[in-house]
Structure 1
Amino acid sequence: MPRFAANLTMMYTEVPFLERFAAAARDGFTAVEFLFPYEHPANDIAERLKVHDLTQALFNLPPGNWDAGDRGMACLPGREAEFAAGLELALTYAQATGCQRLHAMAGVVPEGVSSEQAHATYVANLRRAAGRCAPMGITLLIEPINTRDMPGYLLNFQQQAHDILAEVSAPNLKVQMDWYHCQIMEGDLGRRLEKHVEGVGHIQIAGVPERHEPDEGEVNFPYLLDRLDAIGYQGFVGCEYRPRAGTSEGLGWLKRYRTSETGNG
């Protein structure tokens, strides 16, 4: 059975952030992820993880100025030092929480910057960041994001991401395969998973097109989750969705899946 991680940025928003760890544990999650932890001291987060016996599966490097439109800095020429400083901050949180996966958002390509410039900056930053993470046993992740939710984002397609993996050539650089984004941009999720699984370091799920629970819409999630078991995927599956009407109330899909897996066993 896949190891599900509750995304505490999108889920359990009924309570303050630091209370979401307890809520996720009460609902049976053994792992959590979130976008950005930096508004809270690393030790406060580490304490919640320990008290509730939770694994920190993933979080993102600082994205830059989110309110001003930044969606990561890895591809932004001239901001290499800021990206490097953000990585160092993220590593302090990773050490405190025991997190072994960090997502480096590529960023929106700025006006006046060519795709070639953005790509070269991205590859150089990823190569340095992966090298910095490697001695600490941390995997660096990159994620293709759909152009509907994030126009102008550099990285949009699975093959594009895996080509970058080959170019950077760092064994601890992997792809964060979000089936929500992939379905919107490409579809053919099962075949893409089978083709790229060796380079996939994390998976995320959400219903398409509304980004609610993975129990409605275009994607057959029970089939795909079963495929993960069949191909031997060992990573986490992040539940990065916006609950329709209450987080705990919307977990019927997970209960049904766990019941079916127990029955099949």
Structure 2
Amino acid sequence: MRRFSANLGFLWADRPLPDAIRAAHAAGFDAVECHWPYDHDPAAVRDALDETGLPALGLNTLRGRPGENGLSALPGREAEARDEIDRALDYAAAIDCGAVHVMAGAAQGDAAAAAFRANLDYACDRAGDVTILIEPLNHHDAPGYFMSRAEEAAAIIERLARPNLRLMFDCYHQQVMGGDVTRRLERFLPITGHVQIAAVPDRGTPDHGELDYRHILTVLDSMGWDRPIGAEYRDARPTDETLGWLTALR
């Protein structure tokens, strides 16, 4: 049976994180992930994880100032970027979270690329058993973001050749930025650390829109993907009213 992770940055976002973890468990999710948990006491988050038995799959480094969407590809901001990497890894250790997504930020050019590589090297050195993830974001939702396509992230991963550096393959972002999701998954799954889903173009529940996730999930099954798939979608309804897809796609 397929397993799914609730992204609590969007699902049950109206509740404190420990309560959202409990809601995800009650709804039948197999894991959780989040965006920026730092306002919540990690001990309370860890208690909720232990109580429910749900693993925490990932969290993000902070985005910086409004519009920056991350710090690690911003030349001259290395000290801040590394402080946020440290903060994320420390929080991940406190809640036994498996991965940290290092957010690049809105930046372009050779200096940005060099800054990002250096900060990723720092993160990989510091991470221990935690996986470092990088994620291309589409230019409609994240204008000017350093990476928008899986091919760009793959080139960075290949160049750095760090065993704990992996791709976060968000099917929503990759469909918006050119599609061909099946072949991209077939090409990049060997370097992928996490897969996320949402409808295209509205980023809603993964049971409508341009992508047929019944097909996408069958492709993942055929390639041996057995880790929880992240549900990172937005819906105006209360989360408990949006979960019909969960049974259908299992």
Paired residue for 1:52?
A: 52
Paired residue for 1:123?
A: 117
The within-5 A match list for 1:98-247 is: 98-109=96-107, 115-133=109-127, 136-247=128-239
Shift of 1:254: 1.1
Q: Write out per-residue CA displacement over residues 32-71 of structure 1, whole angstroms, 9 at most, x where no aligned residue.
A: 0110011112111111111111110111012223xx2221
Paired residue for 2:35?
A: 35
Paired residue for 1:253?
A: 245
Shift of 1:99: 0.9
The 8 Å contact of residues 80 and 125 in structure 1, kept in 2 or not, is answered as yes
Shift of 1:249: 1.6
The 8 Å contact of residues 5 and 239 in structure 1, kept in 2 or not, is answered as yes
Q: What amino acid maps onto 1:55 in structure 2?
A: P
Helix, strand or coil: the match of 1:137?
coil
Shift of 1:132: 1.4
> What RMSD in Å do the two structures reach over aligned CA positions?
1.3
Helix, strand or coil: the match of 2:58?
strand
Q: Distance in 1 between matches of 2:2 and 2:155?
A: 26
Q: What amino acid maps onto 2:221 in structure 1?
A: D
Q: What amino acid maps onto 2:18 in structure 1?
A: L
Q: What amino acid maps onto 1:3 in structure 2?
A: R
Q: Distance in 2 between matches of 1:2 and 1:93?
A: 28
The 8 Å contact of residues 168 and 193 in structure 2, kept in 1 or not, is answered as yes
Paired residue for 2:62?
A: 62
Q: What amino acid maps onto 1:57 in structure 2?
A: L
Q: Distance in 1 between matches of 2:243 and 2:185?
A: 25
Identity between Structure 1 and Structure 2 (%)? 40
Q: Distance in 1 between matches of 2:249 and 2:161?
A: 37
Report the TM-score, using the length of structure 1 for normalisation.
Answer: 0.91
Q: Distance in 2 between matches of 1:244 and 1:255?
A: 20
Shift of 1:244: 4.3
The answer for unaligned runs of 5 or more in structure 2 is: none
Paired residue for 1:78?
A: 76
Shift of 1:236: 2.8
Shift of 1:3: 2.5
Q: What amino acid maps onto 1:38 in structure 2?
A: Y
Q: Write out per-residue CA displacement over residues 214-239 of structure 1, whole angstroms, 9 at most, x where no aligned residue.
A: 01100010111111111012333111
Q: What amino acid maps onto 1:108 in structure 2?
A: A
Shift of 1:30: 2.1
Q: What amino acid maps onto 1:130 in structure 2?
A: C
Helix, strand or coil: the match of 1:176?
strand
Q: Distance in 1 between matches of 2:40 and 2:232?
A: 20
Report the TM-score, using the length of structure 2 for normalisation.
Answer: 0.96
The answer for unaligned runs of 5 or more in structure 1 is: 259-265
The 8 Å contact of residues 17 and 45 in structure 2, kept in 1 or not, is answered as no
Q: Distance in 1 between matches of 2:149 and 2:178?
A: 7
Helix, strand or coil: the match of 1:55?
coil
Shift of 1:193: 0.3
Q: Distance in 1 between matches of 2:7 and 2:181?
A: 21
